[in-house]
Chain A
Amino acid sequence: MNTSAPQPPFAVQVEDLVKTYAQSEALKSISFNVAHNELFGIIGPDGGGKTTLFRILTSLMLPTSGNALTYGYDVQKDYKEIRKIIGYMPGQFSLYQDLTVEENLQFFARIFGASISENYELIAEIYDHIKPFKDRRAGDLSGGMKQKLALSCALIHYPKILFLDEPTTGIDAVSRMELWSMLKSLKKKGVTIIVSTPYMDEALLCDRILLMQEGSILDSNTPKGIINNFQKQIVAIETHNNKESIKGLRRLPYLDSVHTFGYEIHATSTETIDTPQLKNDLEKMGYQDINVRNIEPTIEDCFMDLMQNNESHG
């Protein structure tokens, strides 16, 4: 690798990327760029094409058509160069379960021609969490600790771009918080991070995000930008019996969508929602303790709205 080579314009550049399998279309001509040192989130449910996209960008799979450059290298031709500068953590836990924590780290350091000590500074914050268990076999770690070990192994050669495929899936809320704070500090050390997640609330922690659904990009922007682009009026409603009042709300003709949302119900409309009238209508239906307030949409509201638009067009 020629280290004096100038930095390419983008960390990742994707143009009209298509991937079809025998039965299905996993990626339907998507285009986007990721800037250097960005914490870039790919948000969407399982089966949306996130893993396929990661595998193409890491040179593990060939696209059916279109172009993709990872750090300026073509994913098809320059796969050898790509594999030197990326760190990759697949969705499935992919370390050796019968090796200990330390042996796993040692092994991955050596296959990249690195040593633990020279890059320890990068992983110190993460590895310190699991260091007390360094002689334990990886298979005996809890979900959160496994992810931390896998992350350490993916970072041990100080990659320029880190790809994390659903690192927070199946792990608890506390471990998820810890993982995101680690990503924040990795970003400060200059690593470009591309991370996928099905948890919509994690979108706010990214610099920019891509909302993906069934192989298509629903939207791509900063989290703030996506929320600002939300065109509809949205209100949050709470009654003494949310489960029942959903059914009532769905009968109101001036509401577009009605979804449960934690302890509240979110309702949207393309027109201005007259909150006193809404409250009135609910009272008429016999619900009590009604509370209606205007709110800012969350990323999840935006996603659901974009999803519904996408479905009605497709």
Chain B
Amino acid sequence: MRKVFGAFVVKEIKHILRDVQTLIILIGMPIVLVILFGFAVKNEVNDAKIAIIDMAKDDLSLELTHQLSASNYFILSELPGSTNQIENIFRKGDAKMAIVFEPDFANKFYKDKKASMQLIADASDPNTANILLNYAQAIIRNFQNEKNKNAHVPYLINMETKMLYNPTLKSVVYFVPGIMTIILMLISAMMTSITIAKEKEKGTMEILLASPLNPSLIVIGKVAPYIILALFNAATIIALGIWIFDMPLVGSFGLLTGEILLFILASLSLGVFISTISQTQQVAMMISLMGLLLPSILLSGFIFPLESMPKVLQAIANIIPAKWFIQILRGIMVKGVGIDFLWKQTIVLAGMTLFFIAVSIKKFKIRLE
């Protein structure tokens, strides 16, 4: 039996290696995606032009301005005069955001323990505006905390921040889990469903079925090489994230590997399931794209935050494995939490895997019809 399995894996690896075009795409895609996302997001933030309107011009306002400038995210330009010029510079595109210090900023901060600032962003590009606001808020909040270190009664700068985690303000932690999820899904689910459907379409499944091979062996033999390919891609994505984009990897590496393997298995079982219901490669690909990949991108929280979606979509998101896997990845990589916080997501993924394996075994046909 082991010899037969070996023969199968060897054959499958040859199929993969000889389809050079597909192989280049599969290996190149994660690299291209990580670099594309990485630089696209980073550049916008790095080059952002910010106008400072300092109506206080005291030590404190200058110190904070200095801090903002030192962050490397902004290019600051001093705008003398009043706030009614802001609209003008936004229209000309000279700045994406304006930061306004109220008069007497230092005095109000130290004496009243409460000073106010205005952050005005150009919301014609809401995405960038949001990012810039978040970045500036985080820096100001940091500044305020520094000042409060030695104070008995806390000083307050009137501001709110949503940047709960990701204190280093790196966008890489947002897109790496997303890209990883999509790539693993693509290789494990789509490619395996296509490769099994190909045997049906080309008629080779007919010979395999007419042989004494156990059907489950056919399937396992076919998908095994894709585990290796998927793991290779996961490693590429993490390595690129760490070395090129300084991505933090806070949590346990062992747990991360285990969870990645679990997600690969979940995707493989989905791929096998798709192959049992499709007769041609084209059908397998369409089901994978529309039924798996698209929801994984849209409803997993990768690009669009789930919290702001209608309740119905939030409910649907629960049956999408990618949602749970992205939570796990962010948990391990960014928050550094362990299995004690992620057991729920892990159980959901494991349950989905078992479910689809069971359904696939039940649906896999030992005959042609």
Q: A79-B366, A80-B212, A99-B14 are contacts. A94–B7 as well, Cβ < 8 Å? A: no
| Among listed B160-168, B203-211, B335-343, interface-contacting one | B203-211
Given contacts A60-B210, A112-B211, contact A96 B3 (CB under 8 A): no
Question: Whose C-beta in chain B lies nearest to the C-beta of A100?
Answer: B14
Choose from A88, A98, A111 the contact partner of B15 (Cβ within 8 Å). Answer: A98
> What B residues does A59 contact at CB under 8 A?
210, 367
CA distance A154 to B207 in the complex (A): 9
Determine whether the beta carbon of A111 is less than 8 Å from that of B14: no
Question: Given the known A-B contacts A111-B213, A113-B3, are A90 and B8 also in contact in the complex, defined by CB atoms under 8 Å?
Answer: no
Docked complex Cα distance between A96 and B206 (Å): 12
Asked if A267 is an interface residue, CB under 8 A from chain B, the answer is no
Interface size on B, residues (CB 8 A): 25
Bound complex: CA of A59 vs CA of B213, how far in Å? 13
> What CA separation (Å) do A97 and B202 show in the bound complex?
9
Q: How far is the CA of A154 from the CA of B203 in the complex (A)?
A: 14
Flag B1-21 by CB within 8 Å of A: 1 or 0 each.
001101110010011001100
Docked Cα-Cα span, A112 to B204, in Å, equals: 15
User: Is B212's CB under 8 angstroms from A112's CB?
Assistant: yes
Q: How far is the CB of A280 from chain B (nearest CB, A)?
A: 56
Verify if A110 is at the interface (C-beta below 8 Å from B). Answer: yes
A103:B14 contact, CB within 8 angstroms:
yes
Query: Which A residues touch B6, using CB under 8 A?
Result: 110
In angstroms, Cα B8 to Cα A105, docked, is 13
Report how far A126 CA is from B208 CA in the complex, Å: 22
The answer to whether B18 touches A98 (Cβ under 8 A) is yes
Q: How far is the CB of A99 from chain B (nearest CB, A)?
A: 6
Answer whether residue B125 sits at the interface, using C-beta atoms and an 8 A cutoff.
no
Which A residues form the contact surface with B (CB < 8 A)? 55, 58-62, 79-80, 83-84, 86, 88, 90, 92-99, 103, 106-108, 110-113, 153-154
Q: A92-B206, A111-B213, A154-B207 are in contact. List 17 more A-B contacts (CB 8 A).
A: A55-B368, A60-B206, A61-B369, A62-B369, A79-B366, A83-B210, A83-B211, A94-B202, A95-B204, A96-B11, A96-B204, A108-B211, A111-B7, A111-B8, A111-B211, A112-B212, A113-B4
Q: Which residue numbers of B lie inside 8 Å of A, CB to CB?
A: 3-4, 6-8, 11, 14-15, 18-19, 202-204, 206-213, 366-369
